[in-house]
Structure 1
Amino acid sequence: MKVPVELRSESGELIVIWPDGARQRLVLADLRAACPCGYCRGARLRGMEPAESRPNPLELTGIAPMGYGVQLVFSDGHDRGIYPWSWLANFAPDADVTALPGTATSSAAPSWTPR
């Protein structure tokens, strides 16, 4: 399993740095729209928008690694989705997000680097 060496929130994006040095910039609004939690997936399957009143701009208030992925805490208060590492590595904002695979807060932009 490929696990990032660093995660950080920067200007409305999640920056992911992989062990091979590859740097990925993921737009937070796209990640929030593709949230893999049961509630959001169910809403998308029913053709509904899970979060009607997202703050603009959307920010991260927490990043919490969970072994096989990462829990992202968004400024709209949503914190139920755990994004698997393999899913993040292959994330494409325009992909079908109805069939997805399988909290700390701070006033500073959240980041995570393994020790």
Structure 2
Amino acid sequence: MSPLSVSNSQSERTLRLGWPGGREQQLNHAELRRQCPCSQCRAFRLQGLTPMVDDRVRLIELNPQGYGVQLVFSDGHQRGIYPWPYLANLRS
């Protein structure tokens, strides 16, 4: 399942997704960065550690990958590809 709409607000630091069925989702940029699904970030969380992310981090680029989207952040992190179902289950 992929979203019907995707928009990124730099001023509000929010990624907005519109899902089939009318569900709207807003995800904070810093929280998206903390929940990065790349192997390095996932291993960090599996150790019970919380990634240190500056709340001022911004999502600066979105690169569609078909099954999800690669997110590029202002802190230089760009390793994670966020599958659509993964994003759909995130809470902000």
User: TM class by shorter-chain length?
Assistant: 0.7 to 0.9
Higher-strand-fraction structure: 2
Distance 2:18 2:82 in 1: 15
Which of the pair has the greater relative contact order for Cα pairs under 8 Å at 6+ separation?
1
Structure 2 stretches of 5 or more lacking a match? none
Distance 1:48 1:20 in 2: 36
Distance 2:89 2:55 in 1: 26
The CA RMSD over aligned residues, in Å, is 1.7
Runs of 4+ in 1 over 6 A off after TM superposition: none
Distance 2:8 2:45 in 1: 25
Higher-helix-fraction structure: 2
- Normalising by structure 2, report the TM-score: 0.84
Distance 2:15 2:2 in 1: 15
- Normalising by structure 1, report the TM-score: 0.69
Contact 1:55 1:75 in 2 (8 A): no
Cα–Cα, structure 1 residues 56 and 33, in superposed 2: closer, same or farther, change >3 Å? closer
Aligned to 1:105: none
Distance 2:55 2:49 in 1: 20
Structure 1 stretches of 5 or more lacking a match? 94-115
Distance 1:92 1:13 in 2: 12
Q: Give the number of the structure whose alpha-carbon radius of gyration is greater.
A: 1
Q: Which amino acid aligns with 1:15?
A: R
Matched, 1:9 2:8: yes
Query: In the comparison of the two structures, how many residue pairs are matched?
Result: 90
